[in-house]
Every structure is written in structure tokens, then in C-alpha cells.
Amino acid sequence: MKILTLTPGSVTLADLETVFRTGAAVRLDPACHPAVIEAQTRIAAAANGNAAIYGVNTGFGKLASVKIEAGDTATLQRNLILSHCCGVGEPIPKGHARLMMVLKLLSLGRGASGVRMELIALIEAMLAQEVTPVIPAQGSVGASGDLAPLAHLAAVMMGHGEAEYRGETLPGATALQRAGLKPVALGPKEGLALINGTQFSTAFALAGLFGAWRAMTSALVTSALSTDAIMGSTAPLQPEIHALRGHPGQIEAADCMRNLLTGSVIRESHREGDTRVQDPYCIRCQPQVTGAAMDMLRMAARTLEIEANAATDNPLVLVGADLIVSGGNFHAEPVGFAADMIALALAEIGAIAQRRVALIVDPVLSHDLPPFLTPDPGLNSGYMIAEVTTAALMSENKHLANPCVTDSTPTSANQEDHVSMAAHGAVRLDRMVANLERILGVELLCAAQGIEFRAPLSTSAPLARVMDTLRQSVGTLTEDRYLAPDLEAAAALIRNGDVTASTAINLPELST
């Protein structure tokens, strides 16, 4: 297994996407170890002192005023983890759980949490040996940390809970034993350091971001295919138009579409004598809509990259100021905003793509393509209901895109009286990405079918390569057949990045 060495505080989105997509293990740069050790020394001293330090020698939340005796600090941390294992619902995917573990490593590695190196070493070893805690998807409100899901992670480190190991779900202690690892007994503040933080919400938001960006770049490709299929104009892609407005995403989207369509014989065939003056907005305004989504995703990406490198537990050990201070870095409001932004982008990319599908299958608007893209309409229905499916998915995404961060509710006897709901906002993104991938898959099928009806006129070389990739998985629709596998195969080409890779041109990158 590949092992990446990451430096807390300077990890990039590309690093995190590699972890998420490849399942790579992670170790922290040893340069961070002295700071970790120094912070732990300060916590150990505080645990033996008389001053009340939250979470070190006091209770938690509403019980913070209860002083804990020095001999009970280990029991305090154990009880904290076990009592907070209140997650419910289906287990989260393995890739998300591993990314969550990596994010927790990065937070602890900032040297402000006060944990022993043994905890960091155990998380690193669990990643290397593929011991993955079973973490229920529901139970976090995204403030005071993602408490319940992170408690399920910490429980496995203590030999409790459940973990997946080599394809088998086992009791936590058994999974550790089979991997040659030993559970830890938590010291002062260590339980709190493990469960305070935004790593669950941030992991899901990052997964949504990575999927959204891949879908967005695929949408640039499918939209170019659709433009050629309906013999649309490339005049709205003129660079001066977009320069005059100035939005970076819009400029990039138009530039990308021009590159994709350059060399199309179909396009050249109707430059003269075309009686249409303007195309509908779903064709003409593609750079403005997809480009705006691109800008939105990059804004969310900047927030999530900062959050991935942050120390987000409480209290924090401020070595330079010689303080141990309670704050609120566990509040996931920035992640909640980022998740809502990603959701809006996903919904709008899908909304305009669905209108392109509706355009292509409509003989009134598609510039002489046959109804529903079947050569024998009436006897055959072609892509009639595939278009309806895209409408259903588009509508679902619009509902899911409603903001979550505004839906605060007080918890923990009003001690935690404003929460971010970042976990809700981030978890829904997986479903939204999957919906968008299927919408774009249907657009890919319809646009390719439409272009084939334009023969002997041909599309551009990059788009022809995309069609070749599609036809290796899904044949031309000559008569009605069982279509569900075709839709899933096309969606897989979007999800796996095959559509964008087959263009063999440079497409916009998330980090600029």
C-alpha cells in the first residue's frame, strides 16, 4: 500500500483527493512530532495541577463545572468516548471513514491538542493495516465537534466498537489484534481531542467536492456534445464576451468548450444560411452557468482546504502563550457554508444539463433530429423516459440543495445553543453527485445519438474520442431495448473520469 507523508498545516486538496480516491495510507511528517510532544507535556502538568481545565480535570458540556479528581482522569476519558457512541443509521463508506481518520491525524499533528504520540502512531498503523472503524452516518449536528461519529472512531482505538478488517466486520479489539495492533488507554484530554473536531463533516464535504468537480468538467464535455448534436452556435463562446464580464470560471468554461468544438465539421456546415438567430439559454448560456458553478466550487474548496489543515478540538494548548484555552474551533459553520455552496453548484449544473437533454429529444427544438432520438419513432420510444428520469433527478437535487446551515437547533441543555448542521449538509452531497452523474450520463447518450444522426458530418476530434469511449460500453440505440444498464454504464463513465480523460485536452483544475 502506498504511504503518503503529510505535513500538518500545509496539506493540499490534491493530497486529500489522492487519499480519498486511492485509499493511500498516511504518516505525519516527523517534523511535527516535537510540537505534539510539547503540547502533551503541558496537558500532563495541568492534569496534576489544581486549576480547573475544561476536559482535562472537569466534566463536559453542561457538566463542565464538575471537578474531576486526578485519579479519575483516565476513567473520565473512557466514559466520554463510550457515552458518546450514539451514532445511528448505515455505516459510512470505507473511503470516507479513512479520509476522516487522515483529517483527525492532521488536526492532532498541529501540536495544539495535547495527545501522546501513541495515539498518532495508532491511527497511522490502522490506516496502513486497513483497520477501518464502522461509523454510523447519523448523529452529528456539526458543533462541539462531530461528536458521535468521531466517538465511534475513537472507540475502536480503545478496543471497543466495530471495525472492518480485510473485508470482515469485527469487534474493535479483534480487528486490532488480527492486524497486530494494541488498543490504547486514553490519558488526560485525549478522548476530548479525538471527538472534538469537524473531521466527519469535512470528510464528506471533501468527497462531495471531488465528485462535484469531476462531474462539472464532464458537464463541459457533454454540453459541447449537445451543442454539436443540435447544430448549435459557437458564437456565444467568443472570448471577448466573457472577458468583458470577467468571472474566471465563465472565461475558463467558454475556453474549454471552444477547444472541445474546434474542428467540428457539423459546426462548419451551418455557419452560413442558418435561419436560427439564437439558441435557447441551455446552449447559449452554458459558460455563464457552469462557470459560475466552477467559481462556487473553488470558493468551497478554499474553505475546506483551510479546515483540513486546522486544529479543531477544544481546549487548545497554546504553547507560545503558555495557555490552555477553551474556544470554539469545533463549530463547523465554515464547513456547513461550503457544503451548501457545493450543493447549489450541483443542483444548477444538473438543472441546465437536464434542459439540454429535453432540447435534444424534442424534434421542434433539436433542429431536425428524430423524436426522442429513435430512427423509427412511434413503434419505438427511444430516450423518451430517460429524459423523464433526468427531470426526476434534477428535481430531487433542487430539493436537496436547500441550505442546511440555517437550520440550527439548541442541544445539550442549551449549552450548545447554536449548531452548524454541517454533517447534514455534507452527507447529502454523495446522493446529489450520484444524481448529477446520471443526468450527465443520459446527456452523453442523447448527444452521442444526435451526433450520429448528423452523419456523414462529423464532430471534432476530442468529442469523437468521447463517443468512441462511450460506444465501447454502450451501443447506438437502433431500436428499443432494456435501457437501465445503458444509463448506469454512461453514469459510470462520468463518475470514473473516463469522459474527461478521453478528450485528451486540458480541462479546468480545482486548484488554480
Angle subtended at Cα 28 by Cα 27 and Cα 34, rounded to the nearest 5 degrees: 140
| DSSP labels, 463-510 | HHHHHHHHHTTS---SS----HHHHHHHHHHHHTTHHHHHH-S----S
Residue 54 is among the residues annotated as catalytic for this protein: yes
- Cα–Cα distance measured from residue 395 to residue 387, given in angstroms and rounded to the nearest whole number: 13
Taking a C-beta distance cutoff of 8 angstroms, is the pair 49, 121 a contact? no
Residue/partner pairs of 62-68 with CB below 8 Å, 24 or more apart = 62/412, 62/413, 62/415, 64/415
As a whole number of angstroms, the distance between CA 415 and CA 63 comes to: 10
Catalytic residue among 54, 281, 383, 482: 54
- Residue pair 234/261 in contact (Cβ under 8 Å)? The answer is yes
Q: Is 494 exposed, middle or buried (0-12, 13-18, 19+ CB in 10 A)?
A: buried
Backbone phi, psi, residue 392, to 5°: -65, -45
Torsion sign over Cα 336, 339, 345, 347? negative
Q: Cell numbers of 333, please? A: 459553520
Alpha-carbon separation of residue 497 from 294, 389, 432, 494 (angstroms): 17, 22, 17, 5
Q: What is the distance of C-alpha 143 from the center of its chain?
A: 20
Measured CA distances, 55 to 63, 97, 497 (Å) = 10, 25, 46
3-state SS assignment for residue 136: strand
Residues 167, 172, 175, 178, Cα dihedral to 10°:
-170
Half-sphere exposure of 108 (CA within 13 A, CB side): 31
Q: Which residues are catalytic?
A: 54
